[in-house]
Amino acid sequence: MTEVSRVIDVPPEAVFEVLADGWLYAGWVVGSSHIRDVDLDWPQVGSRIHHSVGPWPVHIQDETVVTAVEPGLSLSLEARGWPLGAAAVGLTLVPHGEGTLVRMTEHIVRGPGKVLPAALQSLLIKPRNTESLARLADLATGKHARAESGHPRP
């Protein structure tokens, strides 16, 4: 399993607010290029984001499913991208001073990528997830700053 982490200078609730908005998924998940639909009950267990993975015009249409959720604390997903496979992704939010330590784990659970050695999987996953957390940080920080200033986005 590959793990990356990052401290984001907003409270856990502000980070979870971004995770709970499925329409923002392509804004922070590296590789997700287009959101086609989000189930109305996202992020409840079993709900889905219907997305495209990869660059146009060779993108793959698939989905991500919530496998577990503790609002404000954690979100577990199965991210699919066939024919590449599926990965179990976990996001854990831990209060850290006035901010949040976000831990992101990922491991391939199905498909051709599952046969890759763990070290090679990590070499592929770690840089992508490090960038995903940087994007998540930007979205959460910007959204929180706008809300605090009294100018939330419509």
Give residue-wise pLDDT tens across range 93-144: 999 999 999 999 999 898 888 888 888 888 889 999 999 999 999 999 999 8
Task: Report helix, strand or coil for 14.
Answer: helix
Measured at the CA of 31, the angle between CA 30 and CA 36, to 5 degrees, comes to 110
Residue 154 clears pLDDT 60, i.e. is over it: no
Give residue-wise pLDDT tens across range 3-33: 999 999 999 999 999 999 999 999 999 988 8
49-55: list long-range contacts, CB under 8 Å, 24+ apart.
49/22, 49/25, 51/25, 51/26, 53/81, 53/84, 54/81
Domain ranges of the chain: 2-148
Report whether CATH 3.30.530.20 matches the domain 2-148: yes
Q: How many helices and strands (H and E) does the chain possess?
A: 3, 7
* DSSP of 81-96: -TTS-EEEEEEEEEEE
